[in-house]
């Protein structure tokens, strides 16, 4: 009992002499921590007779409460003292002019996505979001891309395991939409996609926008009118556009859309086509009754063309001098 009382006196004196919170924490750990001196005393109670254990246990608990109260009070005192010292030493010149607060702006990629979604939303397209981590069925199989297709190799795709991957295209949402909703369908989705490529015009992560429309009597003529109207509005001029035959596993016929640049050269800006009957069938839609159109575009590509940006990587450097140019 004498040792406990003496130890308590020593601890309380050490607490009162501590001049900063850091030293106070060292004292707490030294005596009350898992390996602290007072903690070890408590652990020794198990080996003592019951009568002595009860008396010493009560005494240790009383001492422990005193120490905790003193630690708390000392900490509050030191924190107040530190705050007062700061306020007394801090000088403020109220005659100085105020500091301007910089207002943030939307990233040009996000601005482009909003503008594209607004155009198609006005045509009755509903905006939906897909999953960035997909399985091989929705990303490939449901889009008529067999296992031996080059897009399924590790050179183009980031795989987690045999079945899960980072989606390579926003088209992966098509099958989910067709199985969830009944025609007529008009949907547009945007988001990040991932492919194993990196240079001035490619990055491992980029943004795509995917459009899907499934109705009765939809033809390639509808597709041409929609995309031509969009491109002329987006670039704010009557640009020359051509639809060039191409190949995509999930559309038939397929086309790539080119625009005429200022140097009189054609540049591809998006891909499109009539939804393949196999894709419609996989989505539980009767291809004899309904037809569909689909299109996909790279957001970075369109943004670079619109603002005459030559290096794709600048979009991801977060340079305020670059970003503040866009409103």
Of the spans 42-56, 147-161, 194-208, 226-240, which averages the highest pLDDT? Answer: 226-240
Q: Is 252 annotated as a binding residue?
A: yes
Secondary structure (3-state) at 157:
coil
- Confidence class of residue 160 from pLDDT cuts 50, 70 and 90? confident
Q: Is the pLDDT of residue 111 over 60?
A: yes
Instruction: Report the percentage of the chain scoring pLDDT > 90.
Output: 30
Q: What is the pLDDT of residue 223?
A: 94
Domain 108-323 fold is BirA Bifunctional Protein; domain 2 (3.30.930)
Indicate whether 108 pLDDT > 70. Answer: yes
* Residue 54 pLDDT greater than 90, yes or no: no
Asked if the model's pLDDT at residue 40 lies above 80, the reply is: no
The pLDDT, as a whole number, for residue 258 is 92
Is the pLDDT at 253 greater than 90? The verdict is yes
pTM of the predicted model as reported, rounded to 2 decimal places: 0.63
Q: For residue 295, what pLDDT is reported? A: 94
- CB of 187 closer than 8 Å to CB of 215: no
pLDDT surpassing 80 at residue 35: no
Q: Which of 245, 261, 264, 243 is nearest to 253 (CA)?
A: 245
* pLDDT level of residue 316 (50, 70, 90 thresholds): confident
**pLDDT at 145 (0 to 100):** 87
Instruction: Please give the pLDDT value at position 199.
Output: 60
| pLDDT of 24 strictly over 60 | yes
Mean pLDDT of 58-84: 85
Reply yes or no on whether the pLDDT at 154 is more than 60. no
DSSP state of 217: T
- The CA–CA distances, whole Å, from 275 to 84, 140, 248 equal 72, 15, 10
Q: Give the per-residue pLDDT at 177.
A: 92
Q: Is the pLDDT of residue 2 over 60?
A: no
Confidence bin at 71 (pLDDT 50/70/90): confident
Scanning the chain, the segments in alpha helix (DSSP H) are 2-17, 21-32, 37-44, 50-89, 108-122, 136-139, 174-180, 220-234, 277-282, 299-307, 320-323
Residue 188 pLDDT > 90, yes or no? yes
Q: Are 212 and 187 in contact (CB under 8 A)?
A: yes
Query: What's the pLDDT at 263?
Result: 82
Nearest C-alpha neighbor of 274 from the set 258, 295, 251: 251
């Amino acid at each position: 009992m004498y040792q406990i009382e003496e130890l308590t006196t020593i601890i309380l004196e050490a607490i009162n002499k501590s001049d900063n919170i850091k030293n106070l924490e060292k004292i707490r750990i030294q005596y009350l921590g898992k390996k602290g001196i007072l903690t070890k005393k408590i652990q020794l109670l198990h080996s003592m007779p019951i009568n002595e254990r009860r008396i010493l246990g009560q005494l240790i608990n009383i001492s422990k409460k005193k120490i905790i109260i003193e630690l708390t009070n000392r900490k509050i005192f030191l924190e107040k003292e530190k705050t007062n010292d700061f306020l007394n030493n801090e000088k403020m010149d109220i005659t100085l002019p105020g500091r301007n607060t910089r207002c943030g702006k939307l990233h040009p990629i996000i601005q482009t996505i909003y503008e594209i979604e607004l155009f198609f939303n006005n045509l009755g397209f509903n905006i939906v979001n897909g999953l960035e981590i997909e399985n091989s069925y929705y990303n490939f199989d449901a889009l008529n891309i067999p296992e031996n297709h080059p897009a399924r190799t590790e050179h183009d795709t980031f795989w987690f395991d045999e079945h899960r991957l980072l989606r390579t295209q926003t088209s992966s949402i098509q099958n989910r939409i067709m199985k969830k909703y009944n025609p007529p369908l008009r949907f547009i989705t945007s988001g990040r996609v991932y492919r194993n490529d990196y240079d001035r015009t490619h990055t491992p992560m980029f943004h795509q926008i995917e459009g899907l429309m499934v109705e009765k009597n939809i033809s390639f003529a509808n597709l041409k009118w929609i995309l031509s109207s969009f491109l002329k509005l987006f670039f704010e001029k009557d640009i020359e556009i051509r639809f060039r035959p191409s190949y995509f596993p999930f559309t038939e016929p397929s086309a790539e859309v080119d625009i005429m640049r200022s140097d009189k050269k054609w540049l591809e800006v998006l891909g499109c086509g009539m939804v393949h009957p196999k894709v419609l069938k996989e989505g539980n839609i009767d291809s004899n009754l309904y037809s569909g159109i689909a299109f996909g575009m790279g957001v970075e590509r369109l943004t670079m063309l619109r603002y005459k940006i030559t290096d794709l990587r600048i979009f991801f450097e977060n340079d305020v001098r670059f970003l503040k140019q866009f409103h």
